Amino acid sequence: METQPAQQSTKSGTVVDATALFALTAKCKLHPVVVFSILDHFSRRNENQERVVGTLLGVNNDGVIEIKNSYPVLHNESGALIGIDREFHRSMFDLNQKANRGEVIVGWYTTGSKVPDSAAAIHDFFWREVGAPPVVLLVDTGLTNAKLDVSAFVGPSPSALAAAAAAGSSGDAAPAAPATPAKPTLSLSTVQLEFSAPKPERLGLAALSSTEGLRGTVGEEGALLDDLDSVERSMGKLIGLLDEVTAYVQRVIEGKETPNVEVGRLLYDTLYSLPKVDAEQFETLFSKQIQDLVMIVYLSKLTRTHLTLNEKLQSLVQ
């Protein structure tokens, strides 16, 4: 879908070219937690609802929209129109601001295989909230292409497009009869979307995708790896990566593989960044760290045991 030039009024009252503002949105970065939140919202929808609608929160970094958070918004579908509960939306935004003051409204989301034209009123509303083309995030919960597609769109205000079309068709001549207002339609264009997860979210995703980190016993189901298991797994991955790099370098030396300058530069930077520590000194430091870790684990288990005993003693006294 292509956008058309249209005049749009922002919150400040300045009339601007919507297409020019649309061009400023070069790329979107999406935190995975937003997708999980949308899927959770979709799984809790009412039985008669085909889709869900919500608000996207984040920051605008010189045209790169970083979508960090989201929250659901109540909506209703009446015939060919979809409306949202604006008071509920503003209450949720005020509540979010108490914890995340740096996040602003950057757009809205919906689910399905496409964004319906009946959502034009929602897009208009978020246009006024953002003061620029809002990002529309579409999550295909129907798995149309046998996968969970996530797409991002931007576009001008449907009401502004309708007004511009009506003004253009009337021309300078006075109409003989009152013109029927043009029906607002969505005109969206796809923008580049990439996933960007901070370290805490990456660790959470790794834990979710790992079956080895789960316990099958009753009471421990879904538990994360303890510290020692985590260190052991990290060391195993590190050794595997070192073996892979060593094999690659050996193939390059033997002429079996064409050398890659970029890979060579990265390997050089990595080796250069390593501290120069004697092997025996490194082994001593590592052993001390392991001993400290074992002591922390022991003390935590001892504390847990004392708390359990205290609870049982309190119950006996009562």
pLDDT tens for the chain, 318 residues: list them. Answer: 433 333 444 443 333 444 444 445 668 999 999 999 999 999 999 888 889 999 999 999 888 899 999 999 998 887 667 788 899 999 999 999 998 999 999 999 999 999 988 888 899 999 999 988 899 999 999 888 888 999 999 988 887 776 766 666 555 555 555 555 556 677 888 999 999 888 777 777 776 666 554 444 444 444 555 666 777 888 888 899 999 999 999 999 999 999 999 999 998 888 888 777 777 887 888 788 888 888 888 888 889 898 888 888 887 776
User: Does one domain contain both 46 and 192?
Assistant: yes
Query: What single-letter DSSP state applies at residue 88?
Result: H
In a domain, 71, yes or no: yes
Q: Which domain holds residue 293?
A: 277-317
d(CA 284, CA 281): 5
Q: What is the pTM of this model?
A: 0.61
- Looking at the structure of the chain, the number of domains it has is 3
In a domain, 37, yes or no: yes
In a domain, 94, yes or no: yes
The DSSP element (H or E) to which 140 belongs, if any, is none
Residue 122: count other Cβ atoms within 10 Å of its Cβ: 24
Q: How far apart are the first and last CA of the chain?
A: 71
Strand partners of residue 73: 53
